[in-house]
Amino acid sequence: MKKINKARLAVLSTITMTVFAFIACSNDEESIDEVTSTGELHAAFAEFDTDETSIYLSGSNVVIETTGNPNHTTVYWGEGNALYKEEPNVDLTPSIIPNYDASATLTVSQNPQKASSPTSTSLGAIGIAISGAAIFNDQEGNGALDQAAASLDYTGGHIGPQEYHYHLEPKAWTEDDDKLVGILADGFFIYGRKCNSTGAYPTDLDASGGHTSITQHNTETEYHYHIENELYNNQYYLIFPGAYQGTPSSIN
Ligand SMILES: [Zn+2]
Ligand SMILES: [Zn+2]
């Protein structure tokens, strides 16, 4: 008899707890959105230039708004501009940064996940660098980047038919180190050729140059990319010749 009573009690208390939990859930329904949208921005976002970018949470997403303009010197600012840098060896494309409205917005999950299969990148911006300017892939107008190599400035950027953008390791702030480069359209961060977790070139990268480890911005492990540590055309490092491992959002 005692055993049966205990069993009944257990069943009863389970039901009671379920009912309470249900009531608690329905009462809290409205505050769930508030809880997720009052989370904190990932520490890596503090590296983005605050003059060029505006970054904030919206529900469970992060919104990155950028002027699209780089916060550093380049020949592409044009003579007379405070950030103009003379680069006589650059085969200039016929335009300058102030002639473009390069502003863009990217909205990604605050907690991006890897997708079940990779997604190829396409022409146009594939990410936003901490400088404010766009990150492009390893193609130039659907052709090999070599054709446009002469027009790239000291930091691997140029103006193609579109706004100023980087194809190569942006030496204006990262060269053979573990600095943050920016964020890609799938919400994952991309770092320099070295990883802060070991201080060395990572040896466990997937086909997209990504792996899961701690970073200088997270004591918990998280998936992130690195600039490809392989010389392209015997002279430079491509930022991201691979495919997205997450689900890309549009940058526009
Ligand atoms: Zn280009
Ligand atoms: Zn890493």
The bound ligand whose nearest atom lies closest to the alpha carbon of 161 is 1
The yes-or-no verdict on residue 38 having pLDDT over 50 is yes
The bound ligand whose nearest atom lies closest to the alpha carbon of 125 is 1
Q: Which two tokens stand for residue 184?
A: 């890609």
Residue appearing with tokens 């009531």: 23
Question: 219 CA to middle of ligand 2, Å?
Answer: 12
Q: Which residues, chain by chain, have CB under 5 Å from ion ligand 2?
A: 195, 202, 213
Q: Which two tokens stand for residue 134?
A: 């766009």
The bound ligand whose nearest atom lies closest to the alpha carbon of 192 is 2
Q: What residue spans define the domains of the chain?
A: 1-38, 43-226
Q: Which two tokens stand for residue 71?
A: 């916060």
Amino acid at 228: E
Comparing CA positions, the residue from 188, 229, 226 lying closest to residue 209 is 226
The bound ligand whose nearest atom lies closest to the alpha carbon of 165 is 1
Question: 215 CA to middle of ligand 1, Å?
Answer: 29
Tens-digit pLDDT profile for residues 171-228? 999 999 999 999 999 999 999 999 999 999 999 999 999 999 999 999 999 999 999 9
Tens-digit pLDDT profile for residues 149-173? 999 999 999 998 789 999 999 999 9
Tens-digit pLDDT profile for residues 58-75? 999 999 999 999 999 999
Question: 225 CA to middle of ligand 2, Å?
Answer: 7
